[in-house]
Amino acid sequence: MQLSIRATGQDVQMLSYLLAKNPNNLYERSVSGHFVRMFFRKFSEEEVDVTFFVTPDPIELSRNNSEKYDITSYINDREFVVSSIFCTFLRSALGTALNGKPKEEYEPWVYHSFPLEFSFGPLASDLTDDEIAALFQPLGYNVEITYGAADYNMNFKTKSTARFITIKGSTTLQMGLRQLFVLIPVFDNYKHYYIDEREVEKIERYGEGWLDQHPQRDFIIRKALRFQEVYSQLEKETEEATNQEPEPKVRLNDLRYEKIIQKINQLPFKESIVDLGSGEGKLSEKLGFIEGVQAILAVEPSQSASIKALKRFEQVEPKENFIMPTQIIGSLFYFDERLKNKDIIILCEVIEHIDEHRLPKIMKTILQDYRPKALLLTTPNKEYNAVYEMDTEYRHLDHRFEWTRDEFTQWCEKQNEAQEYELIFDGIGEQHELYGYPTQMCLFSRKGM
């Protein structure tokens, strides 16, 4: 990680006073085992070229990063790329320049614009070259970007992910550095390596006089402060990720729940309901409000989903007539005595996430061991994908199959070989005259109930 400052022309030697660095000396300070270093490559009347760089202690870095025991955290780019760590390391070495507090006699030079060239890197960023340039250009810089080598014995990538940036423009040293100190963490990919508590204050201070006018101000602030709300941010992102299905599906979800509830309301026995594969608890929550329901088992193997479901349930718990679902860690691949002899078991958009060949065994466990009075199954209707103008792909990346109405009907009938249940087929969503409903449903009702 390095930053070079170069200037040519008159009075450029004044820069050494603004930096408070003697051009004849090397600078080296140890910051918790990492070396912050500086040398002047050029110091003449017409040209000054100074480089600041950090030689980190890799062991110290990995030790501080060892909380997450993941091998990638040992082999990582933090040791090399410019990031908020780099800015923190450099803050003291560049303190005089950043704060604009040289010896009194040089103070007027703080406000003097030099033809400056800052080059820094390597940079690991998801932003494109154009996006990077678009952040500097409004500040009056020309931007040049060079790439590392991506020459491998096989095709890992076409372009290197290591970049080096050079910006040129006429500006004061303080302004240039302050802009870099705000923007470097903005470029950097890393989500939560280093969180500086004074981040907000820093942006306010370093952003003074330029950030408010920057056309991408909001973007910069959001990116720079992403650490602060990293958790809530993350949560939002995952929620968005699970809803990646085509637009009409969002509404379809609600229709599906509505239909299931409507069906349950028509059933004579509904005291105990099992929501198998309850995920984040959206359906279970709604089941809690059905009249006549006395117990809901929300069965889900994923602990993270269960925690989200619990939050959801707790929010509505105080409401009247709400039956708090009981959360159970479990899955379709195990036998679970707690699920025996319930009134209703629901598999809402679950089976299509399981390899087809594994389903008969699961259905056998449900129908012959758990023996619910009713079983409600929903799954996508593949025919309807034509309405979404989908090709052969599935509606969700994790779907192992999607069935036509015929396939679904035949499959359901096959699961009912013992003839212990009555099957009623139905659909959910907006009906298409050719392709039927987007979601298909089957209600298994135990005979003689």
Partner 1 sequence: MNIVLPLTGIVLLVGPSNSGKSTFLKHLVEQGKILPSEIVSSDECRVLVGDTEFIDWHRRNKDEADALYNQYQTISAEAFSLMDSLIETRCRLNKLTCIDATHLYPDDRKKYINIAKKHHLPIVSIVLDIDQSELLERDKTRENPRGNKRIKQQVYQFKKEKRYIKKEGYLATYFISESKDMEVIRRTNHPLELDVSNGIDIIGDIHGCFDEMIRLLEKLGYEKNADQLYVHPMGRKFLSLGDIMSRGPKSLQTMEFFLRHIKEGLAYMIDSNHGWKIARWLDGKKVTLSHGDELVEEEFIQYEAQHGKEATEQFKQELKQLLLKAPSHYVLTKNGVPTLVCTHAGIKDEFIGKESHDISDFCRYGDSEGFDETGRPIRKDWTIHHKTSTTIVWGHDPKPKPLVINNTINIDQGIVFGGELTAFRYPEKEFVAVQAEQDYSDGKHNPLVEFKKKRLNPPNIAKYINGYQVLTDALGEIHIPKEYALASIDTVSHYTVPIEELVYIPPTMSPTPAPSSLEDYLEHPKEAIQYYRSMGIERMVAEKKHMGSRGILLLFKDEEAGLKYVGRKTLGVIYTRTGRRFFDEETEGEILSRMNNGLKASDYFTKYETEFVLIDAEIMPWNLKAKELISSQYAHVAENAILDRALLKNKLESIGDKHADLEKWLEEYDEKLTNAYVFKEVFQKYCWEINEIDQIQIAPFHILAHSNETFFHKPHTWHMEMNKEFARMETLFVETEYVVIDDEASEEEVIHWWENITSDGHEGIVIKPETFISTSKGKLLQPAIKVRGRKYLHIIYGMDYLDPENLKRLKQRNIGKKQKLALKEFSLGVEGIQRFVNGESIERVHECVLGTLAMESDPVDPRL
> Closer to partner 1 at the Cβ: 131 or 369?
369
Contacts with partner 1, 149-188, as mask; x by CB under 8 A: xx-xxxxxx--xxx-x------------------------
Q: For residues 381 and 438, is the Cβ–Cβ distance under 8 A?
A: yes
Residue 173: CB atoms within 10 Å: 26
Question: 372 Cβ partners below 8 Å, 6+ apart?
Answer: 274, 341, 342, 343, 344, 345, 366, 446
- Give the closest residue to 260 by CA, choosing from 399, 426, 436: 426
77, 196, 245, 426: which one contacts partner 1 (CB under 8 A)? Answer: 77
- Give the closest residue to 236 by CA, choosing from 316, 308, 313, 315: 308
Q: How far apart are CA 249 and CA 186, in angstroms?
A: 35
Q: For residues 345 and 276, is the Cβ–Cβ distance under 8 A?
A: yes
Q: How far apart are CA 254 and CA 261, in angstroms?
A: 11
Contacts with partner 1, 203-242, as mask; x by CB under 8 A: ----------------------------------------
Distance in Å, CB of 305 to partner 1, minimum: 9
Dihedral sign from CA coordinates of 80, 84, 89, 93 = positive
Q: Using CB under 8 A, which residues numbered 260 to 319 contact partner 1?
A: 301-303
Size of the site for partner 1 (CB under 8 A): 60
Torsion angle, alpha carbons of 225, 229, 230, 233, to 10: -110
Q: Using CB under 8 A, which residues numbered 352 to 391 contact partner 1?
A: 355, 357-358, 361-362, 365
Contacts with partner 1, 99-138, as mask; x by CB under 8 A: ----------------------xx-x--------------
45, 46, 70, 239: which one contacts partner 1 (CB under 8 A)? Answer: 70
13, 20, 31, 37: which one contacts partner 1 (CB under 8 A)? Answer: 37
Specify burial of residue 55 (Cβ count, 10 A radius: 0-12, 13-18, 19+).
middle
Q: Using CB under 8 A, which residues numbered 322 to 341 contact partner 1?
A: 329-337
4 part of the interface to partner 1, by CB under 8 A: yes
**Ordered alpha helix ranges (H), 166-247:** 173-187, 199-206, 217-224, 230-242
What residues line the site for partner 1 (CB under 8 A)?
A: 1-2, 4, 26, 28, 37, 39, 41, 51, 53, 55, 58-59, 62, 66, 69-72, 74-77, 79-81, 121-122, 124, 148-150, 152-157, 160-162, 164, 301-303, 329-337, 355, 357-358, 361-362, 365
